[in-house]
Amino acid sequence: MKKYIYRCSLGAAILLGACTNDSYAPKPIGYPKVELPPAGYQPLADSIPFSANIAKSSYPRKKPSNPGDYFLDIEYPTIKAKIHLSYKQFEGKSKLQEMMNDAYLFTSKHQQRANGISENVIHNDENRVHGLLFSVSGNAASPMQFWVTDSTNHFLRGALYFFTEPNADSLKPYTQYVSKDVIELIGSLKWKK
């Protein structure tokens, strides 16, 4: 019996000695601090049928396309993102309606992973730029898309993509950064012909 009491006392002393006032709490998930390039814009210098301002931290990369069409990526190498632009010339209201329907279809494909899609109407009568800007919330592949037209000849569609698996929380600072550039691009857009 003395051995039992001795062992229990020794075990209790070890347990009490091992206890400290430091309490353990798991650390919340965090993301590294984001260092983004300074904001600033420059004219898009390319032989395309529209002009616009793009971020100084980006560069345009023209892609092969059919006559009358232009495919252009505005790439952001420091944040591994791009704004994909596709331009088409058209004639007739039926062709315009077809391209607008395609733009809706491309955006709606993100509904499976999106929490929601909001639309903002674009009207710039001075430059004849009209369309819609879509903000896609959630873990969709493209958090921002848009289309603009002059309703007679020009149609431009754009989509923002990141070169990583979509995670809305970790990409939020980058999406906010590039969304300002998309708004600047649309606001400064002018048709050349």
* Secondary structure in 3-state letters for 39-106: CCEEECCCCCCEECEEECCCEEEEECCCCCEEEEEEEECCCCEEEEEEEEECCCHHHHHHHHHHHHHH
- Identify the CA nearest to 156 among candidates 41, 58, 47, 50: 50
The overall average pLDDT reported for the chain is 86
pLDDT value, residue 18: 63
139-to-63, 132, 151, 193 alpha-carbon distances in Å? 27, 21, 32, 38
- Identify the CA nearest to 159 among candidates 122, 133, 139: 133
In the chain, the percentage of residues whose pLDDT exceeds 70 is 88
Tell me the backbone φ, ψ of residue 190, rounded to 5 degrees: -135, 135
Tell me, yes or no, whether 137 lies in a domain.
yes
Tell me, yes or no, whether 181 lies in a domain.
yes
Q: Residue 151: give the domain boundaries.
A: 42-191
Total structural domains in the chain? Answer: 1
- Identify the CA nearest to 179 among candidates 163, 158, 193: 158
Tell me, yes or no, whether 24 lies in a domain.
no
Say whether pTM exceeds 0.85.
no
pLDDT value, residue 110: 66
**pLDDT mean over 51-67:** 90
Tell me, yes or no, whether 23 lies in a domain.
no
Tell me, yes or no, whether 15 lies in a domain.
no
CATH label of the domain that carries residue 93: 3.40.1000.10
pLDDT value, residue 21: 62
pLDDT value, residue 170: 83
In which residue are the tokens 């944040």 written? 79
No. of helices (H) and no. of strands (E), the chain: 3, 11
Tell me, yes or no, whether 34 lies in a domain.
no
